[in-house]
Structure 1
Amino acid sequence: MVGGDGGAALDALFEGFSQRHPDVSMNDVADENLSLEVKSRILKESPPDVWMEWPGKNLKPYEDASVLGDVTAVWEDSDMEQYYLDGPREAATFDGTYRAVPLNIHRINNLFYDVRQAEELGLDPATIDSPRAFAEELRRIDAETDHTGMLFPMKNPWTVLQMWETVLLGEHGHETFRGVTDDAAAAHRRAIVDALDIVRQYAEVATEDKLYLSLTDANERFVDGESVFFHQGDWAAGAYTESAQFDYGTHWDHVPFPGTDGLYAMNMDAVIAANATDNPETVSTFLSYVGSADGQKRFNQKKGSIPPRTDVDTSAFTPFLQEQQTAFQQSTAQPLSITHGLGVRPDQLIELKTAMSSFVSSWDPEAVADEVVAALDTSA
């Protein structure tokens, strides 16, 4: 069972699988609301053999319900363990048992910038070394120039949540980030407040329509030259590569978000197997292909993402994605995104989005930090 997003990428994956295994038939069910459909079938005790889902803590309800299949043998009978880094492997396991096969990765902590505007302002984005220093630079741009420092869409609370988790990672480091997501949020409350305060500072110099600005509209306006910077996951670059007047390296470029150099904050999709299936050999064969270099090359080239395997030939990928793959391979850690469900449970994610909705109404870091701690720290 597959979702509606990335149809061309899934077609490429299935085509490659059919070429490798012409004797194996696979029936896929496309559904625009995949998660709801899977849950409905699980409740009816008729889950699909395999489906695509965010891994990590997003899978905790399935794990608690004993729905997930043990796919450890797929990992151990192949070379997957050798070519997956720790972050994707962590997202695929519960208590040492593999429950998923990650298929693609999107980087969260990108800071895109308009090359010509940065040069005009005498800016080298790579020298901005922390989220707080970035706030100071945005204030300087706002006070001393006629440029917009950074477009900041807030129409949907997830973009604010993503900004906050990126600032938390960049300002306070990976260890604190992990503590916040691993039931120790109360112990790191000051870091949570500080990150919220820095996000508030970004909002103060954002455009007046920020609360009504969608991600798509903001991204299009960045392409049109309306701001120096734009923070977003690497999926935003799809619009850049499609624009004939917005060339990589000439008109736009990117750096890791300030303070996050060497860290590769991840969103990803994975293929999940049900605990009960009438076709265990077929499922294992398909999962092995999903975890193969050939399968991941085919899928990610179409999806505009990078493979979690480190040995995939990306020479046919865009230069931007090739650089993303290099950064992934050289990263010292691969934090699991909060906003995209890998680093927190689904119920926590709902509460965090609610907290961010409160934040853009009050801009009160102290009060909203209490909501964040309550959502994340089970001992609070």
Structure 2
Amino acid sequence: MSRVSTGGHADIELLHRLVGGDGGAALDALLDGFTQQHPDVPLGDVTNENLSLTVKSRILKEDPPDVWIEWPGKNLKPYTDAGVVGDLSAIWTDGNMEQNYLDGPKDAARIGDTYRAVPLNIHRINNLFINASLADEVGVDPARIDSPSAFAEELERIDAETDHVGMLFPMKNPWTVLQVFETVLLGEQGHDTYRAISDGRASQHRREIVQALEIVQRYGAVATDDRAYLSLTDANERFIEGESVFFHQGDWAAGAYTETDGFDYRSEWSHVPFPGTDGYYAMNMDSVVSAADTDTPDAVETFLRYVGSADGQRRFNRKKGSIPPRTDVDTGQFTPFLQEQQLAFQQSRSQPLSITHGLGVRPDQLIELKTAVSAFVSSWDVESAADAVITALEQSS
């Protein structure tokens, strides 16, 4: 824990879990930039691995942190229902911030008509990474695969006709399976149906949910025998080592690729939007929110405005391996991969909010969805899994 106080004034308390690695480096870059621009505003940061639990406990004790880093979207619904997060609408509308965000990030920042968060970064989840040499060897053109079902056919062909693994599919943690499911649902059914299902009308789209689960089942059938015990980190390393033609994951996976000598972008690995999701930028993101009441409202507002600034987001995202939610940030010093991600974001027709990462569903629903997919990969019972998914998405908070 580090706390800094100057001039006898109370610190702004920032609670987060960005410790070490790219997250810690990104936060340090953000805070350094803020201190340079606002040396008179005291800021202390407190790290906590059990962030959500700690924030909730502090709220119950009527001692919330001034600001904390949290998923936006429906993840914030319990906080807004309790009236404990601040109204940040003035920060959005007073300057040029609102006009420099696309609709998806703005939707994530709003609960109802009120802005409650300042998005800090974006990770795209609907990436399909490609081992270039293996794709040539098995005779597949990823850009020509136009749907999740067509992708299943291609994986089945690779399994039947070659000695290669089509796609590594880690299932040790349920969120990786849920992420595949939601990406398949988006790619096969489109954003309108995806949004209707996540917004509480799942039972009206049972057939589409069943179809998505059947496709996920087909992916699992041609995955490696150890899929149930395979973690994301291990799968990513094995993809780098050339074990599979494809790997589906958020763009955070590419951090390991760029750090691997001899595994060069474009010549050794590349990426396309997951089949059927071209034009969609499915988002996971972090944001900063504030308590409804703080002892230092002016200082908190100054910090939140910096979080939403082009300078703050350039500093943070360059180190984090993500892209800025603002569309006017100079990404000239970002990696070529991230520059392409930023361009795809700016050109996207829609920016769906991820179910798996808490933006598109409430926290209680996310827990039930993870339970549903855990049972699914144990039994591969599509009908039972569809029932569980619908129950999770239509339950009341």
**What code does the residue aligned with 1:348 have?**
Q
Aligned to 2:184: 167
Note the C-alpha offset of 1:30.
1.4
2:245 matched to 1:215? Answer: no
Note the C-alpha offset of 1:39.
1.1
Give the secondary structure class of the aligned counterpart of 1:28: strand
Deviations along 1:228-268, one digit per CA (max 9) or x if unpaired, are 00000000001101100210001100000000000000000
2:90 matched to 1:73? Answer: yes
Aligned pairs for 1:148-227 (under 5 A) are 148-227=165-244
2:259 matched to 1:259? Answer: no
Aligned to 1:301: 318
Give the secondary structure class of the aligned counterpart of 1:27: strand
TM-score, normalising length: structure 1? 0.99
2:148 matched to 1:131? Answer: yes
Note the C-alpha offset of 1:65.
0.7
Note the C-alpha offset of 1:321.
0.4
Q: Is the 8 A contact 2:279 2:350 kept in 1?
A: yes
Note the C-alpha offset of 1:68.
0.7
Pick the aligned partner of 2:36 from 2, 14, 19: 19
Note the C-alpha offset of 1:127.
0.6
Name structure 1 gaps, 5 residues minimum. none
Note the C-alpha offset of 1:31.
1.4
Take 1:26 and 1:78, find their aligned partners in 2: how far apart are those partners? 23
Aligned to 2:73: 56
TM-score, normalising length: structure 2? 0.95
**What code does the residue aligned with 2:176 have?**
T
Give the secondary structure class of the aligned counterpart of 1:194: helix
Q: CA RMSD in A?
A: 0.8
Aligned to 2:375: 358
Note the C-alpha offset of 1:76.
1.1
Aligned pairs for 1:337-348 (under 5 A) are 337-348=354-365
Give the secondary structure class of the aligned counterpart of 1:376: helix
Aligned pair count reads 379
Take 1:326 and 1:179, find their aligned partners in 2: how far apart are those partners? 27
Aligned to 1:320: 337
Q: Is the 8 A contact 2:72 2:117 kept in 1?
A: yes
- Is the deviation greater in 318-327 or in 115-124? 115-124
Take 2:49 and 2:314, find their aligned partners in 1: how far apart are those partners? 24
Pick the aligned partner of 1:3 from 6, 17, 23: 17
Q: Is the 8 A contact 2:18 2:27 kept in 1?
A: no
Q: Is the 8 A contact 2:365 2:395 kept in 1?
A: no
Q: Is the 8 A contact 1:78 1:288 kept in 2?
A: no
Deviations along 1:260-310, one digit per CA (max 9) or x if unpaired, are 000000000000010010111001100000000000000000100000000
**What code does the residue aligned with 2:389 have?**
V
Q: Is the 8 A contact 2:103 2:351 kept in 1?
A: yes
Deviations along 1:13-57, one digit per CA (max 9) or x if unpaired, are 010001111111111111122111111111110000000000000
Give the secondary structure class of the aligned counterpart of 2:168: coil
Take 1:133 and 1:208, find their aligned partners in 2: how far apart are those partners? 23
Q: Which runs of 4+ in 1 moved over 2 A?
A: none
Question: Percent same amino acid at aligned positions?
Answer: 73
Aligned to 2:118: 101
2:245 matched to 1:228? Answer: yes
Aligned to 1:238: 255
Give the secondary structure class of the aligned counterpart of 2:247: strand
Aligned to 2:136: 119
- Is the deviation greater in 218-227 or in 75-84? 75-84
Note the C-alpha offset of 1:11.
0.6
Take 1:285 and 1:4, find their aligned partners in 2: how far apart are those partners? 21
Note the C-alpha offset of 1:339.
0.3
- Is the deviation greater in 27-36 or in 157-166? 27-36
- Is the deviation greater in 85-94 or in 31-40? 31-40
Q: Is the 8 A contact 1:3 1:32 kept in 2?
A: yes
**What code does the residue aligned with 1:3 have?**
R
**What code does the residue aligned with 1:4 have?**
L
Give the secondary structure class of the aligned counterpart of 1:70: coil
Take 1:238 and 1:46, find their aligned partners in 2: how far apart are those partners? 37
Note the C-alpha offset of 1:318.
0.4
Take 1:224 and 1:35, find their aligned partners in 2: how far apart are those partners? 36
Pick the aligned partner of 1:277 from 284, 288, 294: 294
